[in-house]
Amino acid sequence: MQALPRVSSVEVFTLEVRVRGVFRIALGAETRVETLYVKVTLDDGSVGWGEGAPAPRITGEYPRAALEAARIASQHLPGIRLPEELSDALELLSRLLPRSPAARAALESALLDAYSRSIGAPLCALLGGCRSEPLRTSFTISLDEPEVMASKAAEAVEKGFRRLKLKLGGPPSLDIARVEAVRKAVGDDAEIMVDANQAWSLAAANKVIPRLESLGVMLVEQPLPAWDLRGLAELSRRSPIPIAVDESVMDMHDLAELVGLGFRGVVNVKVSRVGGPLRAARILQASVDMGLEAMVGCMLETSLGISHAVHAVSTVKPSFVDLDAPLLLERDPAACKVYDGVMVAPPRGPGVGCEPRLSV
């Protein structure tokens, strides 16, 4: 009988990547980000890669803290046998990293990638199933003055994007002006979603949303603070536009509580925010099973993280796909072949299908 492969080494490091210009949302602005990378090597020579994008404004996880947490947790991984001890290893990571979702995501992603490469299977096969058709991603327009957002939206449409996500988060009148300017610039050539990143009160949302409906907005993402699950549930039942939650759902418990309060809408799941591709796949599937619509999104991360996200969403048919982060960077160090124009699909090959050529 062939011996089961064991983890022989784990390397953890960060990469600094620069954003094109300034990426601004209601919670703050970024010109560069540090993303966490993990490389897992098995004793049969298989190598797996994972990425986690810390988001201190959203999860409270800072890059340096994520790096240290991942390094400490990674010391428990060498010697584990795959797949026999994989579940135990993932459970251990959950216990060791309860407040470090990006660190957990990077380690989980690398472990799953290494094992799926070892058996010659795509990662999606481990997560419950693979799809053959690519997905069309939206393109995000950073929060800015109305005329600037309109110009950037028109450029995106010229490049072939037919669904835009506008970052909002100011006074209601200014947010309405932003959407009006973009709609005027793109006409009927693009669908429009908006993301307030927790910036509105319930009263502001009730004021803005009817005007957004008249402008043809198809989705309003995270309009209220993440903690206001009751308000989000109430708004989702009254709004003429579907409401999506993002920062409000960090795990299955949050999802169950939200549904218990009567939420009806869309759940945006991000691998780095929920702690790994397996967790993401389970939350996406549970959302659909509970009668909600699924959305897959991303943090500011490289195409390695996007590759894991595309595998994670393979078991459901998402209503919304927002996997454009590498397109917002000056340079993508991973250079995974995940894009074909505005379409995204897993890179071909075993595992996640991408092997970054990095010196570590």
Distance in angstroms (rounded) separating the CA atoms of residues 120 and 122: 7
| pLDDT value of position 1 | 54
pTM beyond cutoff 0.85:
yes
Query: What is the SS3 assignment for the chain?
Result: CCCCCEEEEEEEEEEEEEEEEEEEECCEEEEEEEEEEEEEEECCCCEEEEEECCCHHHHCCCHHHHHHHHHHHHCCCCCCECCCCHHHHHHHHHHHCCCCHHHHHHHHHHHHHHHHHHCCCEHHHHHCCCCCCCEECCEEECCCCHHHHHHHHHHHHHCCCCEEEEECCCCHHHHHHHHHHHHHHHCCCCEEEEECCCCCCHHHHHHHHHHHHHCCEEEEECCCCCCCHHHHHHHHHHCCCCEEECCCCCCHHHHHHHHHCCCCCEEEECHHHHCCHHHHHHHHHHHHHCCCEEEECCCCCCHHHHHHHHHHHHHCCCCEECCCHHHHECCCCCCCCCEECCEECCCCCCECCCCCCCCC
User: Which residues are within 8 A (CB) of 132 and not within 5 positions of it... i.e. 6 or more apart?
Assistant: none
| pLDDT value of position 355 | 87
Distance in angstroms (rounded) separating the CA atoms of residues 355 and 343: 20
User: Which residues are within 8 A (CB) of 80 and not within 5 positions of it... i.e. 6 or more apart?
Assistant: 6, 7, 86, 88, 89
Q: Are 70 and 107 in contact (CB under 8 A)?
A: yes
| pLDDT value of position 348 | 86
| pLDDT value of position 360 | 42
Distance in angstroms (rounded) separating the CA atoms of residues 135 and 257: 30
Distance in angstroms (rounded) separating the CA atoms of residues 203 and 242: 17
User: Which residues are within 8 A (CB) of 1 and not within 5 positions of it... i.e. 6 or more apart?
Assistant: none
What the chain holds in terms of domains, given with CATH numbers, is 7-120 (3.30.390.10), 126-344 (3.20.20.120)
pLDDT in tens, 216-268: 999 999 999 999 999 999 999 999 999 999 999 999 999 999 999 999 999 99
| pLDDT value of position 107 | 99
Distance in angstroms (rounded) separating the CA atoms of residues 309 and 325: 12
pLDDT tens track, the chain, 360 positions: 568 999 999 999 999 999 999 999 999 999 999 999 999 999 999 999 999 999 999 999 999 999 999 999 999 999 999 999 999 999 999 999 999 999 999 999 999 999 999 999 999 999 998 987 899 999 999 999 999 999 999 999 999 999 999 999 999 999 999 999 999 999 999 999 999 999 999 999 999 999 999 999 999 999 999 999 999 999 999 999 999 999 999 999 999 999 999 999 999 999 999 999 999 999 999 999 999 999 999 999 999 999 999 999 998 999 999 999 999 999 999 999 999 999 999 888 899 999 897 744
User: Which residues are within 8 A (CB) of 142 and not within 5 positions of it... i.e. 6 or more apart?
Assistant: 21, 22, 23, 24, 25, 149, 152, 167
**Residues 147, 326, 222, CA angle at the centre, nearest 5°?**
60
For 126, 198, 226, 259, 260, the CA distances from 233, given in Å and listed in that order, are 33, 14, 12, 8, 9
Write phi, then psi, for 313 (nearest 5 degrees).
Answer: -90, 5
**Residues 235, 241, 247, CA angle at the centre, nearest 5°?**
60
Q: What does R_g of the chain's alpha carbons equal in angstroms?
A: 20
